[in-house]
Chains A and B, each alone.
Chain A
């Protein structure tokens, strides 16, 4: 019973929170071997070795594995698959890109966004934007799984496990990287932040989002947005919280000018404390909010920013 876990590595750096949460989810399934891949991955491998529950780290460094292109990474995982009963990863966009490809190459189904482990073959996952939870039992020899990180607590630290260097498989050369547009930010990462402040259509413009950001900065929070706000161009796509964006479960989630469409609720309703500020008292967001304030956000948000901290 062994687990191969694809660690989340971005530009040579380990995304510790996402990876440690996936390790916590996978621990009960067997001995966890973490796989770190990239053009550079040695530092990520050292970091992954210290996640409690990791018994070994495999590190593959190759230019063809850079920029997280699906074809090369999937080919490498498939070449290692014979030794493992479970192949898992945190449910990031990278894993969602790579794992179904791995599963199809192994002729098995994939289990995406798994939110609960019942036993080695049985898992819970949300369907219909989180409006139902399905428990499914896999009959496949290899289970390929992405874990929804928001439902698992990150594994702690341990004395470093051994790191073994492995070679990449031949790059199929089907795709090449052109560029990344990643917004540089000092704010915490959305999916691991303790506090998230999100704005919706009610914020009204990209300029007005500065108000949301000011409150977030006061609280040391990450900034999120509803799909409506992203579609309207008020906020970048990587801020989107919801069924098709990021799923978050912070200690405190403040929803500002967000009506609370089902697909947004799917991305934040597991937050510990939810605050909603909206001028429409009928807005569905109030049905999930612990504290609701019916007010004009242009008055309430600056006042809140001033009075907090």
Chain B
């Protein structure tokens, strides 16, 4: 079985986000970028499926600016076999919307015929939580979102999902789209020899036009602003003082 893993280049999760003064967006110039953490978990899961003999090839895909090839190299260094880079934007500040990403991914799925698409449940930049579900819709495939456990047997996958009430386990027909949540696994670090080897692994470069997909946005960004600041409070010296303050504030 071939596994397709879409990965997104996003601001590193440790970097403090700055809103540009003109309100046009978040400043991404000269900021450290990394693979979206949820996508790392998806890559890791694909590698574990391969190690368990349930997958034989892992194809990583990234759609965005040309620099996304760095993110793909990371996936290759972790253990993906080959990569497809789809250049769909020139400026790092251009975020390709999930609908357009899903359309390109659906075309790649038609070409590559994977048995499973494993993606992160959301990207930590736009926090949309949509791409996996949209790919699934476009392909008419089953979907299992927010996975914390994945078990593939034959033509079905049993997936435990993190939902509001606790955990839900469902069984989906393969081929399927699975979006991964935090507790599915802990991604490995790429070793230096593997980083070197990754440089020689194949990477195809395509454009959105190659797939005939229009990536123009449906949502126009009117403005981006800082969230309302919370005024700093006070420190209390004891539990008694805390209880008194809470009573004073009418909070208890």
A interface residues, Cβ below 8 angstroms from B? 10, 67-71, 74, 92-94, 96-105, 107-113, 122, 125-140, 172-183, 191, 219, 227, 230-231, 236-238, 243-244, 246, 251-252, 269, 272-275, 281, 286-295, 300, 303-304, 307-309
Task: Give B162-179 as 1s and 0s: 1 = Cβ < 8 Å from A's Cβ atoms.
Answer: 111111111111000000
Q: Is the CB of A180 within 8 A of B133?
A: no
- Contacts A104-B138, A182-B166 known; A291 to B17 CB distance under 8 Å? no
Q: A128, B125: Cβ atoms under 8 Å? A: yes
**Nearest-Cβ distance from residue A179 to partner chain B, whole angstroms:** 5
Contacting residues, chain B, for A103 (C-beta < 8 A): 99, 130, 134, 137
Say whether A174 contacts B172, CB under 8 Å: yes
B222 within 8 A of A: yes
Residues of A near B137 (CB, < 8 A) are 74, 100-105
Chain B 221-245 interface residues, beta-carbon cutoff 8 Å to A: 221-227, 230, 232-240, 242-243, 245
Closest-by-CB residue of B relative to A227 is: B182
Q: Are A100 and B98 touching (Cβ within 8 A)?
A: yes
Nearest opposing residue in chain B for A96, CB measure:
B129
Q: Is B158 an interface residue (CB 8 A)?
A: yes
Pairwise interchain contact A230-B127, C-beta atoms closer than 8 A? no
Chain B residue nearest in CB terms to A272: B251
Q: Counting chain B CB atoms within 10 Å of each CB, which of A70, A102, A125 scores highest?
A: A70
Report whether A97 and B141 are in contact in the complex, using a CB–CB cutoff of 8 Å.
Answer: no
Residues in A with CB closer than 8 Å to B152 are none
Complex alpha-carbon distance, A125 and B126, angstroms: 9
Q: B181 to chain A: which residues have CB within 8 Å?
A: 237, 244
In angstroms, Cα B221 to Cα A289, docked, is 32
In the complex the two chains form, is A134's CB within 8 Å of B146's CB? no
Known contacts A291-B246, A307-B243; A70 and B183 CB within 8 A of each other:
no
Chain A residue nearest in CB terms to B102: A104
Check A291–B245 contact: CB distance below 8 A: yes
Q: Tell me which residues across on chain B come within 8 A of A97, comparing CB atoms.
A: 133, 143, 145-146
CB closest chain-B residue, reference A139: B218
Name the residue on B nearest A177 (C-beta).
B170
**A175 and B170: CB pair below 8 A?**
yes
Interface string of B60-104 (1 = CB under 8 A from A): 000000000000000000000000000000000000011100100
> CA A122 – CA B222 in complex, angstroms?
9
Q: Residues on B close to A: CB < 8 A?
A: 11, 16-17, 19, 26, 97-99, 102, 121-122, 124-138, 140-146, 148, 158, 161-173, 181-183, 217-227, 230, 232-240, 242-243, 245-246, 249, 251-252
Among A175, A177, A236, A272, the residue within 8 A (CB) of B143 is A175
Question: Roughly how many angstroms separate A122 CA and B220 CA in the complex, as a whole number?
Answer: 9
Given the complex, which residues of A lie within 8 Å of B135, measured CB to CB?
104
- With known contacts A174-B142, A237-B183, A132–B169 Cβ distance under 8 A: no
Known contacts A134-B224, A174-B172, A180-B168; is A70 also within 8 Å of B182 by CB?
no
A231: which of B127, B182, B225, B242 is its contact (CB, 8 Å)? B182
B-chain residues with CB within 8 Å of residue A134 when the two chains form the complex: 221, 223-224
In whole angstroms, how far apart are the Cα atoms of A131 and B130 in the complex? 20
Besides the contacts A110-B98, A231-B183, what 11 more A-B pairs have beta carbons closer than 8 Å?
A100-B129, A107-B99, A127-B127, A128-B11, A138-B219, A181-B168, A236-B166, A238-B167, A251-B251, A291-B246, A307-B243
Report A-chain residues with C-beta under 8 Å of the C-beta of B232: 286-288
**Contact assessment for B146 and A93 in the assembled complex, using a CB-CB cutoff below 8 Å:** yes
Q: Give the 6 A-B residue pairs with the shortest CB-CB distance, closest first.
A: A174-B142, A290-B233, A100-B133, A104-B134, A100-B130, A104-B137
17 contacting pairs across A/B (C-beta < 8 A):
A70-B143, A93-B163, A101-B134, A103-B137, A104-B135, A109-B97, A109-B98, A113-B127, A131-B26, A139-B220, A174-B143, A176-B172, A181-B166, A183-B165, A231-B183, A237-B148, A292-B236
With both chains docked as a complex, state the minimum distance between the C-beta of A123 and any C-beta of chain B, in angstroms: 9
Known: A104-B102, A238-B166. A252 touches B246 (CB 8 A): yes
A236 nearest CB across to chain B (Å): 6
Closest to B121 in A: A244
**Cα separation A140 to B97 with both chains bound (whole Å):** 13
Contact yes or no, A138 B224, CB < 8 A: no
What is the CB-to-nearest-CB distance from A206 to chain B, in angstroms, rounded to a whole number? 15
Query: What is the bound-complex CA distance between A132 and B163, given in angstroms?
Result: 26
Across the two chains, which residue of chain A brings its CB closest to B19? A132
Q: Are B142 and A246 in contact (CB under 8 A)?
A: no
Residues B234 and A291 in contact, CB atoms below 8 Å apart = yes
Across the interface, B222 reaches (CB within 8 A) one of A129, A137, A290, A307, namely A137
Which of A273, A287, A290 has the largest count of B CB atoms less than 10 A from its CB?
A290
**Given contacts A273-B249, A289-B233, A303-B239, is CB(A70)–CB(B133) below 8 Å?**
yes
Q: Is the CB of A132 within 8 A of B142?
A: no
Query: Which A-chain residue is minimally distant from B182 (CB atoms)?
Result: A244
